[in-house]
Chain A
Amino acid sequence: MERQLRFNKKTGDRLFWLLLILPALIIITTFILIPIADSVRMSFTEYKMKNILRGTPATWNHFENYAKLLRNKQFLPTIGRTFGFVVGVVLAQFLLGMIFALILNSNVRGARLIRSVMMMPWVVPTVISALIWLWIFQSQYGLFKYLVSVFSLGAVNDFGILNDTSWALVGIGIAALWKQIPLTTLLLLAGLQNVPDDMIEAATIDGAGYFTRLFKIVMPYMRSVIQVVLTMAIIENFKQFPLIWTMTGGGPSNSTTTLAIMSYREAFVSQNLGSGAAVTTIWMLLMIVVVWVFRKLMKRQEID
C-alpha cells in the first residue's frame, strides 16, 4: 500500500512539476531558444533586408558570412575593444564597489540611508542615463569639459570626450560604471555582512593587520558572492547595447563599436541580416568562453 502511494506520488510529482514549469519552458523556448537557433542558422545564409522585401528566401552560403567578417579589417579591433571595455569596466566596478562596500560596512554614520540613496543610478532607465551623460559630456557646453579644464588648471580646455577616438569608450565606461556600481556595492556589502565576526575577531587578536584580514579571511569567505557579482558584471557589460548606441552610435570613427554595435549595424544599417547574425553568433560564443574560463579560474582558486 505504501509503495503504491509513493509511486503515485512520484508520478504525481512529475506531472505537477511539468505543469508548473510548462509556462516558463514554453515562453523561454519560443522567445529565447528558437530565436537563438534561428539566428545561428541565419548566419550561414545570405539574407539581407531586400530578401524580406522581395520575399525571396535566404540562400545557404556556408561560412561566407564568417569568412567575410574575418576579412573585415575592423573585426579584430572590434573584438579587442569589446574585451577592453568589459575588462576595464568590470575591474573598475569591482574595485570601486568593494571599496564602497568596505566603507559602508565599517560603522559610518548614516550607512543605511546611504545604502538606499546610492541605488538611485541603478533605477534610472538606460536610455535616460545615456542622456544624462551625453549632456554632461557634451563637447560644447558639458560639465565634464568644464571640470577637466578646471582640474588641469587650464591646460586642457577643449575636451569633448565623446568626440575623441581615444577617450570615447572611456566616457561610455564611466556612464556604465555609474549605473552598475550601486548593485555591485549592494551585493558585496551583503556578502561582507555575512562574514562571521568571530573569525575576524580571532584574526585581530592574533595580530593580523587590516589588509591581511581583508585578503586572507574576508575575501575568501565571500568567494561565491564575488563570483556571482563578477559573472553578472561580465555578462551585463558584454551585452551592453542601448547605452553605447544612444551615446555614440559606435563612433567616432568606429572607436566605440563593440560586437553588439557591430551586429546591430550589420543587420539594421547595412541591412545584411545574415552577416549581423554571424557577428552575434561569434559574440555569443566569445561570451560563453569568457564565462566558462572565468568559472574555471574561480574554481581553481578554491582548490588553492
Chain B
Amino acid sequence: MNTKSAARWAKAGKYLLLFLILLFLLFPLYWMLITSFKTNLESYMYPPTFWPKDFTTQSYISLFTENNQFFVYYKNNFIVSALVAAITLIISFMAGYALSRLHVKFNPVLVALLTASQMFPVVSRLISLYSILRTVKLINTVPGLVLAVTASQIPFCTMLMSSFFDGIPVSIEDAANVDGAGRFRTMFSIAFPLVKGGALAVGIYSFLMAWDDFLHAAILIQSDELRTLSVGISARYLGELSYDWSLVNTISIIGILPMLLLFFFFQKYMVKGLVAGAVKG
C-alpha cells in the first residue's frame, strides 16, 4: 500500500471515528427530542420508531396548561443560579485577585485549602450543613440554598480567577498605583476590565453548575414553591404511580434549552476561560 492510499484510508478512518463519537454525543439528545413529539402510545412501541409516526405537540401543550408547576421550578432554578453566579463571581474575583497579586506567606495554605475543599463530596456534608442552616433559620429559604451552593463553587472559581490574573501583566496596575490610585480603585476600575473574559467565564460556569445542583436543594428545600428544577423533576415526574415518558422527555428538553442557548452565545469566553484555567493551572 503506497503512502497516498494509506493516507486516504487514514483520512476515511478519521472521519468515521469523528462521526461515531459525534453520533454517541448527539444522538441521545435527538432521541429525547423526538420522543417528546411522540404520543405516549408510540413511545412504547418496540422496535422504536426513529421518526414520530404521529407527530404531536401534545406533551408540550399539557406541560403549559396542566403540568405547569414545572415552570415554578424553572423560575426558582433561574433565581438561585443567577444569585449563585453573581455572588460567586464577586467573592472569587476578590479572593482570586488577592491570591494572584498579593504575595502573603499564607497563600500556599489558602491554595491547599481551596484544592482540598473541591474534593469533598456534598453527600458527606449534608447533615452538618442542614444543622448549621437550621441554627440560623435558613432552612427552606432561598438565601440558605444560595449560600450552600455558592460555597461549593467558590474553591474552583477562585483558583480559576487567580490563574486569569496570573496571565495578565502587573504593569498596568503598577502604573495606576504610582499614579496614586488606592487599592480598591485599582482592583475594580483597572484589574476587572482586564479579566472581563475570565470573569464572564467564571460567572457562566458557576451559573451552569448551580443550575445542575441536586443534593443541596433536595435536603435544604422542603416546600414545593421554592423547589429547584432537578429536585422538582425528580419529585414530581418520577413519581410513585407511573412514568409518563413523553412528558419526562418534554420537560427534559425545556430544561436544557436555556443552558444550550446560554452556552452557544457565550461559548467563546467559556472555552477560553476553562482552557486557561486548566492549561495554566
Contacts and interface: CB of A to CB of B under 8 A. Distances in A.
A99 interface: yes
B221 to A, nearest CB: 15
B98 A146 contact: no
B17 A24 contact: no
Interface in B34-52: 35, 43-48
B114 A228 contact: no
B119 A235 contact: yes
B208 A123 contact: yes
Nearest to B114: A28
Nearest to B77: A125
Interface string B120-132: 1111111111011
B154 A28 contact: yes
Contacts of B31: 132, 135-136, 143
Interface string B206-246: 00100110110000000000000110011000100000010
Contact of B117 (A28, A119, A190, A232): A28
A42 B127 contact: yes
Nearest to A31: B151
A66 to B, nearest CB: 15
Given A131-B252, A146-B46, A187-B274, A126 B155 contact: no
Contacts of B214: 125-127, 242
Given A20-B98, A96-B21, A127-B214, A28 B151 contact: yes
B46 A141 contact: yes
Given A21-B99, A21-B110, A27 B25 contact: no
Contacts of A146: 46-48
A34 B158 contact: no
Interface string B153-197: 011001000000000000000000000000100000000000000
B12 interface: no
Contacts of A238: 121
Given A132-B28, A186-B275, A39 B263 contact: no
Nearest to A114: B22
A264 B215 CA distance: 11
Contacts, number: 252
Given A36-B125, A125-B255, A132-B32, A194 B233 contact: no
A77 interface: no
A140 B48 CA distance: 10
Interface in A117-133: 117-121, 123-128, 131-133
A248 interface: no
A225 B279 contact: yes
A79 B255 CA distance: 34
Contacts of A140: 44, 46
B18 interface: yes
B281 A228 contact: yes
B28 A20 contact: no
Given A27-B154, A141-B45, A34 B132 contact: yes
Contacts of A23: 90-91, 94-95
A24 B281 contact: no
Nearest to A33: B117
Nearest to A40: B124
A136 to B, nearest CB: 6
B230 A178 contact: no
Interface stretch (A83-91, A162-170, A196-204, A281-289): A281-289
Nearest to B212: A125
B1 interface: no
Contact of A27 (B113, B125, B147): B147
B256 A125 contact: yes
Given A32-B120, A288-B119, A38 B128 contact: yes
B98 A32 contact: no
B147 A123 contact: no
Given A121-B25, A287-B119, A127 B124 contact: no
Contact of B279 (A142, A143, A224, A277): A224
A176 to B, nearest CB: 13
A190 B270 CA distance: 13
B128 A34 contact: yes
A99 B94 contact: no
A182 interface: yes
Contact of A32 (B32, B126, B152, B238): B152
A34 to B, nearest CB: 7
Contacts of B263: 116, 119-120, 123
A100 interface: yes
Contacts of A235: 118-119
Contact of A39 (B119, B127, B279): B127
Task: Across the A-B interface, give the 4 residue pairs with the lowest CB-CB distance, nearest first.
Answer: A31-B151, A35-B128, A280-B124, A35-B125
12 contacts: A17-B102, A21-B110, A24-B92, A28-B117, A31-B132, A32-B125, A118-B25, A125-B256, A128-B233, A128-B256, A187-B278, A260-B123
